[in-house]
Amino acid sequence: MSKKVIVIGAGIGGLTAGALLARRGYNVTIYEQAYVPGGCASTFKRRGFTFDVGATQVAGLEPGGIHHRIFEELKIDLPSVTPCDPACAVFLPGETQPINVWRDPEKWQQERQKQFPGSEPFWQLLAKLFQASWKFQGRDPVLPPRNLWDVWQLTTALRLDTLITVPFTFMTVGDALRLYGLYNDRRLKTFLDLQLKLYSQVNADETALLYAATALGVSQEPQGLYHLQGSMQILSDRLVEGLEKHGGKLFTGYYVERIETLENNKSQIIIRQRKTEKTFTKTADHIVANVPVQNLVKMIDSPSQPGLNLYQQRVEKLPEASGAFVIYLGVKDEAIPKNCPPHLQFLYDYDEVIGENNSLFVSVSKPKDGRSPEGQRTIIASSFTDTQIWNNISEEKYQQLKQEYTIEAIARLSNYFQLNSDTIIHQEAATPRTFAYYTARDKGIVGGIGQRVSTFGPFGIATRTPIKNLWLVGDSTHPGEGTAGVSYSALTAVRQIENKNFI
Ligand SMILES: Cc1cc2nc3c(=O)[nH]c(=O)nc-3n(C[C@H](O)[C@H](O)[C@H](O)COP(=O)(O)OP(=O)(O)OC[C@H]3O[C@@H](n4cnc5c(N)ncnc54)[C@H](O)[C@@H]3O)c2cc1C
C-alpha cells in the first residue's frame, strides 16, 4: 500500500511537494486553511481586476529552472510568460532616471558601469560566485545537512568549481564592498540595500554574499524573471492540476491546529473545518508542513521529542521577520506613463538612525495580460513594515494607521503615476493583519527568514525537523523566499522522504 502523506498548506511549497509526492506514488492529501490555494502567490478579484496578492514575478521558468523541471516531471504545461526586461527600474531619492536592471547581461554590465563607475571588479566577483553557486544548486545539494544521506547529497553536488565559493561563505555583501574599497560609494550601497532587502529581507551589511550573488544574478539571461499571463494564480492552479492528475487531493477551508506524534513513528494532525467548526483527526506516515517555522513550533504538540526544545529556542531567537504593507490599485490606462517597466522600485529617503530604507516595490500590469479590463491596468505597490505596529492595537487605531499608510503610498506613487479620483477605479490595502488572516502566517510575517550568514545555506533552517517524518517546506527553509526558492525546498523534502530508509 502506498505511504500516506498529509501536507499542511497549499502555498507554492506545499503544492509542489504534494504534487511531486503524488507523482512519485504517495497517497497525498493537502489541507489548506484558505478557500483558494497559492498563499502569498495567490490572487483576488475586484471589479474586473485580478490582483496578485504578494508575488508578482517568477524565477526558474527557463529550461533547467526549478519550476520548469517540476512542471516537466508532473507532465503539466508551463504557464505562458513574458520575460521582465528590465527586471526592475530602480529610482534612487531625488533621481528621475532609473537604474535599469536589464535582462541582457552585456546591457546590464554597461548600465552598471555607467551608474557605478569603478565597481566592475565587485560585480565580476558576484558573477563568478553566481556561476558556481547556480551550478551547485542545479545538482540538488541538501542544505543544511542533518544526516548522512543529506551529507552525501551535499558532497556529490560539490565540484572543483564550487571551491571558489568556500572562502566567501562567511562574508556579507558589506564585507565584499570593503574588500574592493567601495563601501563608501553611497549610491552603489543604497542600490544594493534596496535590491537586497527585496530578496533577502536584510540590507547589504547583513546579506550573506553567496545569497546576494544568486539573488542579484538571476535577473539576467539565460535565467531571468518572468511575468505570468493571466495572473500568479496560474502557477498554483497548474500545480493543483499536477497533484490531482497523479491522484492527490486538495481540501480548502481546513485549518490544521496541531501536530501530534504517535508511538509508531506516525504523526497525526488535528484539523478544523472552517465552515462547520468541526474538528477531526487524520494520521499519516509523513507530514509536510508548508508554514513559516514560527507557526510550526506553535503547532507541534510533542513535549518529549528530543531536540525539539533546542529547535524551538532557535526559532524564538530568530531576528523579528518583516511584514508587508501592500496597496492594490485598479486604474485607467492613462495613469501609467508610456513604456512603463513591469517592475519599479522607488527609494524615498534613508533613515540614518534606524538604517531603514523607505521604499516601494511596484508591479504594473500590461495591456491584455489578463489582469484588467481593456483600457485599464493594475498597480501593486508593497513596502516592508514592522508587524508589531499593526498587531495589538485597537480596531480604530488599526484603521487609522491603514488609512495613513494608504494616503502616503498613493502620494508617493503620484510622483510617477497619474493618480487621482478620475484615474483610480479601485483601491485596497493589505497589512500584516491581512496576511495573518488570509495566509495564517504568524503575526502576518512574510518573505521568510532574512538571509544573513547565520541563517543561510549550511546555517539555514532545514527541511528536516527534530520530529521524525515531519518535514518543513516553504520560505523559512533553505534556499529562502520566492516561488523558486520554496520549490527547491519542496523538492529537497520529497527526495528526503523517498530516501528516508537509506540511513
Ligand atoms: C508583498 C509580497 C511580494 C512578493 N513578491 C514576490 C515576487 O515577486 N516573486 C517571488 O518569487 N516571491 C515573492 N514574494 C514571496 C513569495 O510570495 C513567497 O516566498 C512564497 O509564495 C511563499 O510560499 P510558501 O509556500 O512558502 O508559503 P505561503 O505562500 O505562505 O503558503 C502557505 C500556505 O499554507 C496555508 N496555511 C498556513 N497555516 C495553515 C494551517 N495551520 N492549516 C492549513 N493551512 C495553512 C496558508 O493559507 C498558505 O496558503 C512576495 C511576497 C510578498 C508578501
> Which sequence spans correspond to the domains of the chain?
4-44+57-81+229-319+447-498, 107-184+191-221, 323-443
CA dihedral 455, 130, 154, 311 (to 10 degrees): 10
391, burial (CB in 10 Å: exposed 0-12, middle 13-18, buried 19+): middle
Which of 12, 40, 328, 364 most suits a substitution to test ligand 1, by most atoms within 8 Å of the C-beta? 40
Query: Quick one: which of 40, 47, 54 has its CA closest to 330?
Result: 47
Structure confidence at residue 305 as a pLDDT band (50, 70, 90): confident
Query: Residue 207 CB: number of other CB atoms within 10 A?
Result: 28
- For residue 446, which atom of ligand 1 is closest to its CA? 53
Beta-strand relationship, 88-91 and 99-101: antiparallel
Contact 345, 91 (CB under 8 A): yes
What pLDDT is stored for residue 254 in this prediction? 98
The chain-wide mean pLDDT, for the chain, equals 95
Beta bridge partners of 361: 345, 382
Report d(CA 427, CA 496) in Å as an integer: 44
Mean pLDDT score, 171-187: 98
Give the pLDDT band of residue 348 (cuts 50, 70, 90).
confident
Res 66 pLDDT > 50 = yes
Quick one: cell of 66? 526549478
Backbone angles phi, psi at 409, to 5 degrees: -65, -45
Calculate mean pLDDT across residues 464-490: 96
Positive/negative CA dihedral, 365, 367, 370, 371: positive
Q: Vertex 364, ends 380 and 218: CA angle to 5°?
A: 100
Query: What angle is formed at CA 260 by the lines to CA 254 and CA 262, rounded to 5 degrees?
Result: 130
Give the C-alpha distances (Å, rounded to integers) separating 240 from 76, 89, 247, 273, 342. 10, 33, 11, 20, 27
- pLDDT reported for residue 436: 98
267 and 96 Cβ atoms separated by less than 8 Å: no
What span, in angstroms and rounded, lies between the C-alpha atoms of 83 and 283? 43
Ligand 1 site residues, Cβ closer than 6 angstroms: 8-14, 31-34, 39-41, 54-58, 255-256, 290-291, 295, 324, 326, 382, 439-441, 446-448, 474-475, 481-483, 486
For the cut 50, the answer to whether the pLDDT of residue 354 exceeds it is no
pLDDT of residue 346: 96
The DSSP call for residue 309 is H
Closest CA to 219 of 65, 116, 13: 65
What is the CATH class of 4-44+57-81+229-319+447-498?
Answer: alpha beta
Sign of the torsion angle spanned by Cα atoms 427, 431, 434, 440: positive
What pLDDT was estimated at residue 501?
Answer: 60
Atom of ligand 1 at shortest range from CA of 439 = 47
As given in the structure block, the three cell numbers for residue 182 are: 567601495
**What is the Cα–Cα distance from 466 to 296, expressed in whole angstroms?**
12
